[in-house]
A and B are shown apart, each in its own frame.
Chain A
Amino acid sequence: MTTLLPEAPPDGDPPLVQDRPRVVSPGFTTGDQVFRRGTTVIGVLVLVITGAIGLFLGYQSIPTLQRYGLGFFTENQWRPENDVIGISSTLLGTLQVALLALAMAFPLALGTALFITEYAPGRLRSGLVSLIDLMAAIPSIVWGLWGFFLIQPHAKNIARWLTEYAGWVPFFHVDTDPTAALWAQTRFTSSVFIASFPVAMMILPMACAVMRGVFAQAPAGEREAALALGGTQWGAIRTVVIPFGQGGIIGGTMLALGRALGETIAVVLIISPDFDLKVRPLEVGTETVSALIAGRFGEATSAQLSALLTAGFVLFLITLVVNTVAAIFVGRSRSGSATDL
């Protein structure tokens, strides 16, 4: 039996049978609705909690800015007894420690990542990856002990040597005579330079893991092309692996920077607080935001507590920006979304 299509109506009239999309109900059972409502509640709860933390920190900056004004960011001394409070030197110290640590960690992380993916024999590879992950799990206080008890005695000699030969450059200058027979050892301890060592070790595994992840995905076809043209192993790395992994290199480095900015305990164990606005990493004395909070929270009045919270909020914002930039770089690279940060 043939079925005839309904006749088309004359032009201008609406069609006889409308074909609107049907509303399909998702068909959730009661159990499903409970499940969905329940997880939504949890999600919202976590959103509220974490959001509230961020908002609270931001909110605390209001009384601080009201009381100290924008001078909070330009004042370098922290003398609560005179009600003179500012974080300019603290921020500068945080930046110095983080950047110097990054300068130490970056070549080591890059070299280790290349070693693991390109040079290590196959059987060792997973063992080395585990070792790097283990390094990331070592508590920061252990690195702090390492820095203070093992590294500082030797590193201060390196600092003295650097001052002796390069002290005419302000960056390397220390206010003492490095060539004296009994040189002032205490002028070279508890400095940005020494604090950078444990921080560098802490951030290195993070950067290395991200870089290693992208290097491992470098396209084998292009690598073969480089070798087939007569290139050496390094030629293939330089032409294929590193350009491919650019996003991961930058992203991993920025992620490490974010972590370095917030590192507290290793810095607290090593540095001696000093609020002078100076860029002399070899010299004794500096202060970072996290060390400031750790050191001053106990005796802080409510105004100073607000100030500490504001400083913490500023640190949080800086770290947030750095992490976001890192994620963009990794996401935009050719290795893209396959890498988890």
Chain B
Amino acid sequence: MTVLSERPVRAPAEPTPPAREPRRDVRSRSVDEQLSVPGAAVSAFALVWVAFTYVLPWSGKVGFAFCWLLAFLVILTALTALTSPRPVVVNRLMSALVSAAALVVGLALASAVVYTLVRSAGSLRHLGFFTSDMSGVRPTDPLTRGGVLHAMVGSIIEIAIAVTITVPLGIGTAVFMSEVGGRLAKVVRTVVEAMTALPSIVAGLFIYTVLIIALGFNRSGFAAAMAISVMILPIIARGSDIALRIVPNGLREASLALGSSQWQTVWRVVLPTARPGLTTAVILGIARGVGETSPVLLTSGASTFLGFNPLTGAMNSLPLYVFSAVRSGQTLYIARGFGAASVLLLLVLVLFVIMRRLARQQATR
């Protein structure tokens, strides 16, 4: 039996009959499913509230939140089990758990940022915070006096020195590893990757021992910059290596086939193509270098006054300032510490946004 389509054969030019074709709704959930999550949440809340208030001797917000989550999961599982087969119940439970995990992580991140900002409101309010240093300011002086200018300047100087040293060395090493190659390059790559495992405090201790103890230098911004360099050199070298390896070999071959020499290929083709990746690697190194306290803790000495010469003596930096401030035990000084921490956070955030902007540039190429 032949079943022909009921429409007659028609030429493409004829307009299609205006049919109303309601789209099937495949994504919405049944009322039962929609209500079970909020329902379980509310009933868990009520249950735990009753338990905490009347039945159990427990108290405290954290405990309450944790018990609420537990009760929520149990009730949700039971509710779903009433109407659905086992795989669906497990699916529900795991979705809830995974979402809870993500929520906890989000809350932790938000709480860290918000808490730091909130506790620094007192010190950040004073504009002098950004324009003065701590010379002559006692820790107990009111927040209108004193600031972090010397720490900001110190951080910038130290990271600038570190970058001047590590970026040419790091990118140069990466170029050596990926463009020149050979057995020596493999050895270099292995050693550089191994050195990324060096804990930052050990980097600081190394510079402390060699520069300050053995060679008799003072604790200074320069020594701190050296310690930062030791820490970030493997990071930048490795990041640059990855950025260069991503450049397709076809580009290099095309350039060579046009008659250019190897260094011209590297300079005119490979490096420009890898530029976003290289910049990302450098900015990542900068973010690590600026934010880590351990290298500077051992090497720079926490000065209280603004200085621009890294060689002459102690130089403060933002993480070190925060560290000294919060360990002091003085309320006002701690408030200043939080202020400095906010500045540090902001600095890292700005670096991060720049990095994302550049990474997106690469993606759209």
Interface residues, chain A, with chain B CB atoms under 8 Å away:
28-29, 31-32, 34-36, 38-40, 42-47, 49-51, 53-54, 56-57, 60, 107-108, 110-112, 114-116, 118-120, 128, 130-131, 133-135, 137-143, 145-146, 148-150, 154-155, 157-158, 161, 201, 204, 208, 231-235, 237, 258, 261-262, 264-265, 269, 290, 293-294, 297, 302, 305, 308-309, 312-313, 315-316, 319-320, 322-324, 327, 340
Contact = CB atoms under 8 A, between A and B. Distances in A.
Interface of B: 58, 60-63, 87-88, 90-91, 94-95, 97-102, 104-106, 108-109, 111-113, 115-116, 119, 168-170, 172-173, 175-177, 179-180, 184-185, 187-188, 191-203, 205-206, 208-210, 213, 230, 233-234, 237, 242, 261-264, 266, 287, 290-294, 297-298, 319, 322-323, 326-327, 337-338, 341, 344-345, 348-349, 351-352, 356
Given A43-B172, A305-B209, A315-B202, A135 B109 contact: yes
B293 A130 contact: no
B195 A43 contact: no
B101 A111 contact: yes
B191 A31 contact: no
A137 B348 contact: yes
Contacts, number: 263
B349 A134 contact: yes
Contacts of B104: 108
Given A50-B195, A50-B234, A145 B263 contact: no
B171 to A, nearest CB: 9
Contacts of B95: 119, 233-234
Given A43-B173, A158-B62, A315-B199, A141 B291 contact: yes
A110 B104 CA distance: 12
28 contacts: A40-B180, A42-B168, A43-B180, A49-B233, A50-B233, A50-B234, A57-B206, A108-B101, A119-B99, A120-B102, A134-B352, A138-B345, A139-B344, A140-B292, A140-B293, A141-B291, A145-B115, A154-B60, A154-B61, A158-B63, A232-B88, A262-B200, A265-B297, A265-B319, A297-B205, A315-B202, A320-B197, A322-B197
Contact of A308 (B205, B291, B297): B205
Most chain A beta carbons < 10 A, residue from B188, B194, B202, B266 = B202
A40 B184 contact: yes
Q: Which 4 A-B pairs have the closest CB atoms?
A: A111-B101, A262-B199, A139-B291, A35-B263
* Chain B facing A: main interface SS: helix
B191 A57 contact: no
A53 B105 contact: no
Nearest to A120: B102
Given A40-B180, A320-B194, 17 more contacts: A32-B261, A34-B263, A39-B176, A42-B175, A47-B188, A47-B191, A57-B206, A119-B98, A128-B102, A135-B105, A137-B352, A141-B291, A141-B341, A161-B58, A265-B319, A269-B326, A293-B201
Contact of B184 (A43, A131, A150, A290): A43
A31 B267 CA distance: 12
Contacts of A148: 326
A320 B104 CA distance: 31
A32 B265 CA distance: 10
Contacts of A139: 290-293, 319, 341, 344-345, 348
Most chain B beta carbons < 10 A, residue from A36, A43, A107 = A43
A39 B106 CA distance: 44
Nearest to A135: B109
Given A29-B261, A56-B210, A157-B62, A316 B188 contact: no
A201 B344 contact: no
A54 B203 CA distance: 10
A201 B195 CA distance: 24
Contacts of A53: 195, 198, 203, 206, 230
B294 A264 contact: yes
A53 B345 CA distance: 31
Most chain A beta carbons < 10 A, residue from B195, B203, B341 = B195
A94 to B, nearest CB: 10
